[in-house]
């Protein structure tokens, strides 16, 4: 079974600064996907960024980028130029590639609450 650990329950950052959220995971799989989801107070789960384990290049989406260290089983999220709208819970999640019997379910970490201060 896979486990995902987020060791920072809460973090804060000043507007326009950069912040990094940590995530580690444990798996025996060699191919998998990793995700960061944002959950604002509306509780909607919003996909921020995705990384495929077989790709060495770190994923980037505008102000969001990851540092994927496969050997260390680490997957951190960097938010640059933080904005007030980035205030939310952030969840790291792991997914095995699907197969016909087992689907493709997500295993989530416990989350990091990020507060962006003006």
Q: For binding to other proteins (CB under 8 A), which residues are involved? A: 4, 33, 42-45, 47, 50, 52, 91, 93, 95, 97-98, 100-111
Rank residues 13 and 108 by Cβ distance to other proteins and give the closer one.
108
> Residue with structure tokens 């798996």?
27
Rank residues 57 and 118 by Cβ distance to other proteins and give the closer one.
57
Nearest-approach distance from CB 109 to other proteins, in angstroms: 5
Rank residues 52 and 81 by Cβ distance to other proteins and give the closer one.
52
For 78, the enclosing helix (H) or strand (E) is: strand 74-79
Asked if 35 and 49 touch (Cβ cutoff 8 Å), the reply is yes
> Residue with structure tokens 């980028």?
65
Asked if 23 and 4 touch (Cβ cutoff 8 Å), the reply is yes
Nearest-approach distance from CB 113 to other proteins, in angstroms: 9
3-state class (DSSP) for residue 12: strand
């Amino acid at each position: 079974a896979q486990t995902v650990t987020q060791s920072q329950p809460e973090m804060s950052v000043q507007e326009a600064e950069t912040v990094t959220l940590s995530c580690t995971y444990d798996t025996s799989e060699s191919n998998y996907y990793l995700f960061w989801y944002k959950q604002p107070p509306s509780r909607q789960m919003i996909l921020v960024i995705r990384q495929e384990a077989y790709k060495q290049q770190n994923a980037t989406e505008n102000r969001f980028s990851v540092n994927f260290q496969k050997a260390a089983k680490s997957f951190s999220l960097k938010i640059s130029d933080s904005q007030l709208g980035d205030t939310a819970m952030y969840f790291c999640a792991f997914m095995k590639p699907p197969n016909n019997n087992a689907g493709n379910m997500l295993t989530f970490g416990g989350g990091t609450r990020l507060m962006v201060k003006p």
